[in-house]
Each structure stands twice: as structure tokens, then as C-alpha cells.
Amino acid sequence: MQGALRKLLAGGFVASIFSLTMAVQAMTMNSLSPTQYNDIKQSALDKPQLDYDDIAPLLLQHQQNPLFQFTQLGQSALGTPIWQIDIGHGPVKILAWSQMHGNESTATAALMDLLNFIAAEPQKNWRDNWLSKVSIRLIPMVNPDGAAAGSRFNSMGIDINRDAKALQSPEGRILMQAAKDFKPDFGLNLHDQNRFYAVGDTNKQATISLLAPAFNEEKDIDEARKKAMQLIGDMRDLLQAELPGYLAKYNDTFSWRSFGDTFAGMGISTVLIESGGHPRDDNRQVARKLNAQLLVMSVESIGSGAYQQQPLSAYQAIPFNRDGGIKDVLIRNLGISVNGNKANIDLAVELDTGSDQGRVRDIGDLSVFGAYHQYDASGLQYQAPKAYALSKALTLDNAAYIALLRQGYSHFSGDAKLLVNSSDFPVVINPKGLSTATPQRHRLATFLLRNEKGVQLALLNGQLLDLNRAALLYPFGS
Ligand SMILES: [Zn+2]
């Protein structure tokens, strides 16, 4: 008995070691770990917007590498080259393209990271294994003119991603021709989405959104779309391990003019990857890293066929995107009073880093929304903005500025040249469109917050200054 028991235990022990090994293998199926990512991450791309000048020297450098075969596909309407990079010689073909919307450059940085990963010395085994199983074609920055202008559109004003049928833009024609020549099995369509998307009913940002685009109004699932959904199942597993809760599914309404939907109709298993916002991550470096990991994992999953193990229920379980579910700033429970009617409201502020302006976007019960920055104003009352009229030269240091704010002045009027701001805080001078007795939608987010002891905080163009701590609660746009 004892011998048999020992045998049984030993057997159980072996079995658990075995299943542990399997689990570790499953978890490490993504070969690009966060630590490893830091080694291959391309420097100098941590910026809000990339244009062709940012990637041109990197492309030139990789062009020397025999692993990468470069071909100039043509040029944008304004004459900037559009390149394709072919990697590997396997039978299964993957086409990935980025930045067809010029102001969506997150994945372009991830493609540069991917090139670094593949070229890196420690990846010899990876290359030997996967580059005989797949052929990869990358087209980074399909819309360099839009990138240079920081615009979604090309230089002719055309949205390239609504030009898949009309093909009036040279950039759209180049992308379509590349797909027709290459005949990929899989297409990875790399975009950015605005920072206000939430994951389903949660108040978390959709840092990544995925979609297997439909090829008809009925959203039918053919063999190609099924494979795309299954690959997304593997992507979901990776994202649940790396950043649980921040994955959503993009709107799946059929978009006849778009490239993803058109490629899906051409039998290409197409996956849309949208990079979104994340707290304290203005330049979307979180989404960029996840893109790089998704790209490496996709090569492995497609090369091995591992995605075929995924049930469609994994794809279907991803919650949809909720546009506007996230606000820049939410001030909760702020007291207001109108004609003797007291109320506690939530107030949402939208920040525009371009114009350095913050505006009131919404008022009321905003408990269903998440935010990049939140402040609980319980016990505080709205106090209307009031101008300090500049009549002579005034130099503000932190103490002098806070003293004026405590006296109830929120901004300055008059000759702006009279004011020298040497404080650490923003000043608002001659603002147009302030709220009055109560906060109003679309007005500038400049007012004071007070309790019975006096003014405690100032909202200055959307930035919240705590007078007692003499500190901004968050820097602009962070
Ligand atoms: Zn886009």
C-alpha cells in the first residue's frame, strides 16, 4: 500500500510539474517580455507625433541588414517615399501597415521596435524558428504627408481609410497594390483611437481595441474572418496577462469604404489594432509596447497555427468600446446654488494641449464616467471667476499669486505686458467665455472652489491648483 501510495504521489508530483511547465510555456508564448522590450525599444520615438524624419534614419540603418529586404513602393502625393520591408521566407504571409491616418503614429514606433527585436543578436533562435514559417511585409507610415501635418488626412484632404474602393489617393493605391501583389493570409491594420474610449461599462481606458472587421452588412463570419477572431483570442490572452482590464472591441459596423473591411472581403484575415490612452501616458508608450508584444506574438501564433485553438467565444467576450466614457478631468461633488436651489454636481473638463485651454464639457451625475484625473470636491462650493484688473506692473511669485487667488481673483484683465508670471502656476489673462454664477458647458474651465474657510483650490484653464499645498494636482495634459 505504502509503495503504491508513494508511486501515486510521485505520479501526481510529476503531473503537477508537467502542468506547471505547460502553464509557463503558455504564459511565455509571447517572446517579447517587458524586460526584453526595454532592450529593443527604439529610442527617441517617445513623442506625441511621429513623421517621416523620425523614421527615415532608422529605415536607412535597417536597410543595411540582409534580414530585411526594402522596396520603395512609391511616394506620397507630396513626394515622400513609402517603403515596404519584407522579412522571412515562410509560406504563411502577414501584412502589417501603420499610420494611414497621419496623426496616429503609435504603431509606427512599435514597427520600429519590431525591426530592432528581429535584428537583435539574442533573437537568432527566434529568427531561425519563425522566419522559415512566415513571410512578413511591413509598410510603416502609409501617410507621411498627413504625418508631417499632424493630420488624419492625406495632403489632398482624403481620408485614406475611406479610399479603399475609390482609390483616389496615391497612398491608398500603394497600399491596395501591395496587398494584391503580396496576397497576405493575415493583415494587421494599425491605428490610434481617441483617448476618451472606455472599456464597456467600466471606467478604464481602452488602451488597446481590437476588431476582426466585417466584410458585409450582415457581419457574417467566413473562414478568413474566423481566423482573425481566433488570432484576437490569442491577443486577448496576452493583454490579460500584461494589462488586464484595458482591452476593448472596436465598433464592428461594416464600413464599405475602409481598407480593413475591404481586405476582409478579399479573404485576408484582418485584425484592426487601435492604440488608445492610458493614465499618465501622453505619448501612448503603454499602447506602443503592447503593440510590439502583439506583433511578435502574432508572428508566433500565425506561424505555429496556435490561434486555431481559440474558441470564438474568447473574441465575443471582449467588451465593446464606449466612446466618451473617459474624461480628462472629473471634479466630483462640487456644490452649486441657483436661486436658492443647492446641488452637488460632477463636472467634466476637457483639456486641449494644442491651445492650452481647458473647457467644461459636462455637468451633472457623471458617475458612469472614468477620468485621467479626478478630484473629490465634497464640502467645496463653486465660486464664480473674477478678474484682477492690471493697472501697473505686477510680478507674481507663488505666494503673491496664491494671495490673489485667496482674495477671490481667478484671472487677470488689462494689458498683459504688465504681468510677469514667475510663479510655478499658469495664469489666465483676458479669457473669453468664462462661466458666470454657475459653471456652464463649453465655457472655459476657470473658477474657484471654496468652503467656509475661504478659497481652497483654483481651476485655471482646466488645471487644478491646491492653494494650501501650493501645488498643481496634475500638470497640463498629463
Ligand atoms: Zn485611424
CA of 169 to the centre of ligand 1 (A): 16
CA of 49 to the centre of ligand 1 (A): 14
CA of 215 to the centre of ligand 1 (A): 18
Neighbours of 427 (CB within 10 A): 17
Q: What is the dihedral of CA 391, 394, 398, 402, to 10 degrees?
A: -20
CA of 322 to the centre of ligand 1 (A): 17
CA of 373 to the centre of ligand 1 (A): 26
CA of 257 to the centre of ligand 1 (A): 13
CA of 104 to the centre of ligand 1 (A): 6
CA–centroid distance for 239 within its chain: 14
User: Are the C-beta atoms of residues 383 and 449 closer than 8 Å to each other?
Assistant: yes
CA of 126 to the centre of ligand 1 (A): 31
Find the farthest-apart pair of alpha carbons in the chain and give their distance in angstroms, rounded.
100
CA of 325 to the centre of ligand 1 (A): 19
pTM of the model: 0.90
CA–centroid distance for 154 within its chain: 21
- Residues with Cβ within 8 Å of 292's Cβ and at least 6 positions away in sequence, in order, are 32, 37, 40, 41, 110, 113, 114, 117
Tell me how far apart the alpha carbons of residues 433 and 359 are, in angstroms, rounded to a whole number.
10
CA of 108 to the centre of ligand 1 (A): 12
**Would you state the pLDDT for residue 321?**
96
In degrees rounded to 5, what are phi and psi of residue 318? -70, 125
**Would you state the pLDDT for residue 474?**
82
- Residues with Cβ within 8 Å of 293's Cβ and at least 6 positions away in sequence, in order, are 30, 32, 37, 238, 242
CA of 194 to the centre of ligand 1 (A): 9
What's the CATH code, domain 21-322?
Answer: 3.40.630.10
**Would you state the pLDDT for residue 238?**
97
Tell me how far apart the alpha carbons of residues 448 and 388 are, in angstroms, rounded to a whole number.
14
CA of 290 to the centre of ligand 1 (A): 17
In degrees rounded to 5, what are phi and psi of residue 107? -75, -20
CA of 123 to the centre of ligand 1 (A): 31
CA of 205 to the centre of ligand 1 (A): 17
**Would you state the pLDDT for residue 427?**
96
What is the residue extent of each domain of the chain? 21-322, 326-472
CA of 284 to the centre of ligand 1 (A): 15
User: Are the C-beta atoms of residues 259 and 266 closer than 8 Å to each other?
Assistant: no
CA of 334 to the centre of ligand 1 (A): 37
CA of 381 to the centre of ligand 1 (A): 41
CA of 210 to the centre of ligand 1 (A): 12
Write out pLDDT tens, residues 141-156. 999 999 999 999 999 9
CA of 53 to the centre of ligand 1 (A): 21
Question: What's the full length of the chain, in residues?
Answer: 478
Considering the four listed CATH numbers 3.20.10.10, 2.30.40.10, 1.10.10.2520, 3.30.565.10, the one that applies to the domain covering 326-472 is 2.30.40.10
- SS3 label, residue 200: coil
**Alpha helices (H) in 41-105, listed in sequence order:** 52-63
CA of 390 to the centre of ligand 1 (A): 46
- Residues with Cβ within 8 Å of 357's Cβ and at least 6 positions away in sequence, in order, are 351, 444, 461, 462
CA of 192 to the centre of ligand 1 (A): 5
Low-confidence ranges of the chain (pLDDT < 70): 1-30, 475-478
